[in-house]
A = this chain, B = another copy of it.
């Protein structure tokens, strides 16, 4: 018999299955994860499992670090945070073994999964697949620690909150996996959060672009960068519930979307702050400086608006309230450097967004958003429309109500939501 190839070209389908913190929250749930992995393997698949830290563990660990130092060194913070996934990964491998399977755990530095050196929010540069291929070829299940990697000096890095999604999708891309299954505590992607909007409907599929918008705009199910990677490498992603057998939601390219619909769903980002600088001198140089300063903030600045009144200019934008403190020195610099006459900050706002590939092509959508909210006397400001979404700011206290109104107005609970001109029943526009 001739020596086997190093990686015998397996014809078995390859699944990457990612389980979040609530799915591995205790030993009983970890056993369930092991069962799901073994079932997939028995059905004839090669299986790679990616796990997050046990629910609450990352916060406990970061709490320890913050007890020592309010602003801990990011390198050491990552050393501490990475232990959460280290434990859950090995426990999951043990649980698979306990059920008669074979499994081997891998940490970021063992693959290695290489990242840049931006501690606490590192970006993946390269994923080595050799060791995973080796254990798969031996009939084992590879259990990979999510969230963590190493930079070129073997310093431990982490990928930021939700980083295990990124690990899973990046692994699936590197391995050319047939599916990347993201198991969560919800059953898929919904037209609106069902806890707020009971008529929220689970989507069968959603395009990468729409998911990217929803994730950016507050949908917590998938991490934004994981969607970017999925889109770039066209990884088939299946978002599904850990505690159900049912199909979840597939992320697919726009062309292969299963459903004929123009709107995907609604998302909310709470606790937004709106900043307005007025009385700025109108000068291209000044605007460039302003954009540079906002870039330096490196925060989720959105709904940037620029309004000219005579020779003066005013600028407004939103950012998460939690980042106001960090942004404050830069904002004060803005006022001084740019000679703004006033800076006005409003907080307690919610950004409500309607996402779908049909938003740009139908000008009636923006009109209907305004009309529906006006009918219920919910003021909306800073409305912005781009190719895939329409967003506006409402008072935080009325956000849930606004969500339900828009869900109803756009008939998102119907399997094939579409937008048409108003019918008589809805009254005149």
Chain A contacts to B: CB under 8 angstroms: 27, 30-31, 61, 64-65, 67-69, 72-73, 75-77, 79-80, 82-83, 86-87, 89-91, 93-95, 97-98, 104-105, 107, 109-110, 154-156
- Extra contacts, 5 of them, besides A65-B91, A75-B104 (Cβ < 8 A), are A69-B97, A76-B94, A76-B97, A83-B87, A86-B86
User: Contacts A73-B97, A156-B107: A79 and B89 contacting too (C-beta < 8 A)?
Assistant: yes
Using CB atoms, name the residue of chain B closest to A93: B76
Residue of B31, B76, B87, B110 touching A90 (CB-CB under 8 A)? B76
**Chain B residues near A82 (CB, 8 Å)?**
86
Q: How many Å lie between the Cα of A75 and that of B65 in the bound state?
A: 28
Q: List 13 A-B contacts (CB under 8 A).
A: A27-B68, A68-B94, A68-B98, A69-B95, A69-B97, A72-B94, A73-B97, A76-B90, A77-B90, A79-B105, A83-B83, A83-B87, A86-B86
B109 x A94 contact (CB < 8 A): no
Using CB atoms, name the residue of chain B closest to A89: B79
Using CB atoms, name the residue of chain B closest to A85: B83
* Nearest CB in chain B: distance from A233 CB, A: 27
Among A73, A75, A94, A107, residue most surrounded by chain B Cβ atoms (within 10 Å): A94
Q: How many Å lie between the Cα of A64 and that of B107 in the bound state?
A: 19
B69 x A87 contact (CB < 8 A): no
* Nearest CB in chain B: distance from A25 CB, A: 12
* Nearest CB in chain B: distance from A73 CB, A: 6
Q: How many Å lie between the Cα of A315 and that of B107 in the bound state?
A: 48
A93 x B105 contact (CB < 8 A): no
* Nearest CB in chain B: distance from A105 CB, A: 6
A61 x B80 contact (CB < 8 A): no
Residue of B67, B97, B105 touching A27 (CB-CB under 8 A)? B67
* Nearest CB in chain B: distance from A9 CB, A: 24
Q: How many Å lie between the Cα of A155 and that of B97 in the bound state?
A: 18
B90 x A65 contact (CB < 8 A): yes
* Nearest CB in chain B: distance from A38 CB, A: 14
A64 x B97 contact (CB < 8 A): no
Q: How many Å lie between the Cα of A401 and that of B408 in the bound state?
A: 83
* Nearest CB in chain B: distance from A55 CB, A: 14
**Chain B residues near A73 (CB, 8 Å)?**
93-94, 97
A94 x B69 contact (CB < 8 A): yes
What 6 A-B pairs come out closest when comparing CB atoms?
A: A83-B83, A79-B90, A76-B90, A69-B98, A68-B94, A80-B90
B64 x A91 contact (CB < 8 A): yes
Q: How many Å lie between the Cα of A105 and that of B82 in the bound state?
A: 14
* Nearest CB in chain B: distance from A72 CB, A: 5
Q: How many Å lie between the Cα of A69 and that of B103 in the bound state?
A: 13
Q: How many Å lie between the Cα of A95 and that of B77 in the bound state?
A: 12
**Chain B residues near A155 (CB, 8 Å)?**
110
A109 x B154 contact (CB < 8 A): yes
Using CB atoms, name the residue of chain B closest to A54: B64
A64 x B156 contact (CB < 8 A): no
Among A67, A80, A90, A105, residue most surrounded by chain B Cβ atoms (within 10 Å): A90
B87 x A80 contact (CB < 8 A): yes
* Nearest CB in chain B: distance from A118 CB, A: 18
* Nearest CB in chain B: distance from A85 CB, A: 10
